[in-house]
Amino acid sequence: MFEFASRPLRAPERTPAALDRLSRRARPYVTHEASLALLMLLVALAARAAQFGNPVLHVDDQFYLLVGERMLWGDAPYSDIWDRKPVGLFLIYAFARMMGGDGVIQYQLLATGFAAATAFVIARMSRPMAGAHGGAAAGVVYLLFLGIFGGEGGQSPVFYNLIVVLAAWIVMRIVVHPGFGWRGFATGLAATALAGLAIQIKYSVVFEGAFLGLALVWKAHREGVRLPLLAAMAGAWMAAGLAPTAAAWGWYAAQGQGETFVVANFLSILVRGHEAPWVLIKRVAGMAIFLAPLWLAAIAARRVPLRGIWDGERGARHFALLWAMAAIAGVLLFGSYFDHYALPLIAPLAVAAAPLFGHARAGISFTAPGTAWRIPVAIALMGYATISSITIINENRRTRGWGPQVTALAQVVKQRLGPGCLFVYDGDPALYRMTHSCLPTRLAFPGHLVHAREDGAVGIDTLAETQRIMAGRPRLVVSTLEPDHAVNPRTNAFMRSQLARAYRPAFTQRIGGRYFTVFERRDGV
Other C-beta atoms lying within 10 Å of the C-beta of residue 251: 14
Among residues 352, 377, 395, which one ends one of the domains? Answer: 395
Say how many domains are in the chain: 2
Q: Which of 22, 11, 58 is nearest to 392 (CA)?
A: 58
DSSP state of 303: G
The residue among 466, 435, 521, 402 whose CA lies nearest residue 58 is 402
Name 488's bridge partners: none
Query: Phi/psi at 234 (nearest 5 deg)?
Result: -60, -40
Lowest mean pLDDT among 26-35, 153-162, 305-314, 362-371: 362-371
358: nearest Cα among 332, 377, 386, 339 = 377
Shared domain check, 318 and 247: yes
In the listed set 395, 413, 438, which residue is the last one of a domain according to the structure? 395
Helix-helix angle 104-146:277-300, to 10 degrees: 60
**7-24 core/surface letters (b: 16 or more CB in 10 A; e: else):** eeeeeebebeeebeeeee
On the question of pLDDT at 7 being above 60, the answer is no
Q: What single-letter DSSP state applies at residue 102?
A: T
Return the minimum-mean-pLDDT range out of 267-276, 377-386, 499-508.
267-276
Which residue range(s) make up the domain with 436?
403-521
- 367 phi and psi, to 5 degrees? -110, 150
Domain identity same for 197 and 308: yes
Claim to verify: residue 434 and residue 347 sit in the same structural domain: no
Q: Give dist(CA 138, CA 401) in Å, integer.
A: 32
| Choice between 276 and 211, residue whose per-residue pLDDT is larger | 211
Q: Are residues 312 and 414 in the same domain?
A: no
Mean pLDDT of 123-148: 97
Residue 229 and residue 340 in one domain: yes
Per-residue exposure over 78-112, b if at least 16 CB sit within 10 Å of its own CB, e if not: bebbbbbbbbbbbbbbbebbeeeeebbbbbbbbbb
Core vs surface per residue 464-501: b (16+ CB within 10 A) or e: ebbeebbeeebbbbbbbeeeeeebbebbbebbeebbee
CB count within 10 Å of CB 194 equals 26
Are 358 and 134 within 8 A, CB to CB? yes
* Residues 351, 425 share a domain: no
Give the number of other CB atoms < 10 A from CB of residue 72.
13
Q: What value does the mean pLDDT take over residues 499-519?
A: 97
pLDDT at residue 309 greater than cutoff 70? yes
Q: What is the pLDDT of residue 370?
A: 67
- In 147-276, which residue ranges form alpha helices assigned H by DSSP? 156-176, 182-199, 206-222, 227-254, 258-262, 268-271
Confidence of residue 21 (pLDDT cuts 50, 70, 90): low
Mean local confidence (pLDDT), 182-187 = 96
Spatial strand order in the sheet of 476-480: 423-426, 476-480, 514-521, 503-511
Q: Are residues 483 and 375 in the same domain?
A: no
Q: Residue 2 has what pLDDT?
A: 36
Give me the sign of the Cα torsion angle 83, 456, 246, 259: positive
The type of residue at 479 is: S
Q: Which stretch of DSSP H or E encloses residue 306?
A: none
pLDDT digits (tens, 9 = 90+) for 188-229: 999 999 999 999 999 999 999 999 999 999 999 999 999 999
| Residues 487/500, Cβ–Cβ less than 8 Å | no
At 482, is the pLDDT very low, low, confident or very high (cuts 50, 70, 90)?
confident
- Judged by phi (left if over 0) then psi (alpha if -120 to 50, else beta), residue 150 lies in left
List pLDDT tens digits, range 37-66: 999 999 999 999 999 999 999 999 999 999
Instruction: Please tell me whether residue 113 adopts helix, strand or coil conformation.
Output: helix
Evaluate whether 462 touches 454 at the Cβ level (below 8 Å): yes
108, 59: one domain: yes
Residues 461 and 316 in one domain: no
Question: Quick one: pLDDT at residue 10?
Answer: 42
What percent of the chain is modeled with pLDDT above 90? 85
365-399 burial code (b ≥16 CB/10 A, e <16): bbbeeeebbbbbbbbbbbebbbebbeebbeebbee
Judge if 218 and 151 occupy the same domain.
Answer: yes
| Averaged pLDDT for residues 134-152 | 98
pLDDT band at 311 (very low <50, low <70, confident <90, very high): confident
Domain boundary among 331, 365, 395: 395
Residue 9 phi, psi (nearest 5): -90, 165
- What pLDDT shows up at residue 481? 85
Q: Average of pLDDT values for 381-399?
A: 97
Q: Are residues 364 and 411 in the same domain?
A: no
* 165-188 average pLDDT score: 97
* Residue range 81-97: mean pLDDT, rounded: 98
Q: Do residues 54 and 15 both lie within one domain? A: yes
Strand partners, 18: none
